[in-house]
Amino acid sequence: MNKSELIDAIAESSGLTKADAGRALDGFTGAITGALSKGDSVTLVGFGTFSVKERSERIGRNPQTGREITIKAAKIPSFKAGKSLKDAI
């Protein structure tokens, strides 16, 4: 499912117009992005939790040359599915 298909599904199930559903989806993703960029987590009970995890610096290999390289530490977005979502799948 891509973004336009998701907007169609939201519009159909909620009774919103496609334009309103698109704005709602953009607002939803913007709110999650904003919270994660501040270091907060977003918990939707039953669905899951969006959070930020820190990945430490590590040694990797360049696949072309085989040389060792240092991969910098990074903050990465994470999602952990909730019980209701796991049960539905």
Q: How far apart, in whole angstroms, are the C-alpha atoms of residue 3 and residue 8? A: 9
**Average pLDDT score, the chain:** 94
Summarize pLDDT for 53-73 with one digit per residue, the tens: 999 999 999 999 999 999 999
pLDDT, position 27 = 96
pLDDT, position 32 = 96
Sign of the CA dihedral 8, 10, 16, 22?
negative
Average pLDDT on 22-38 reads: 95
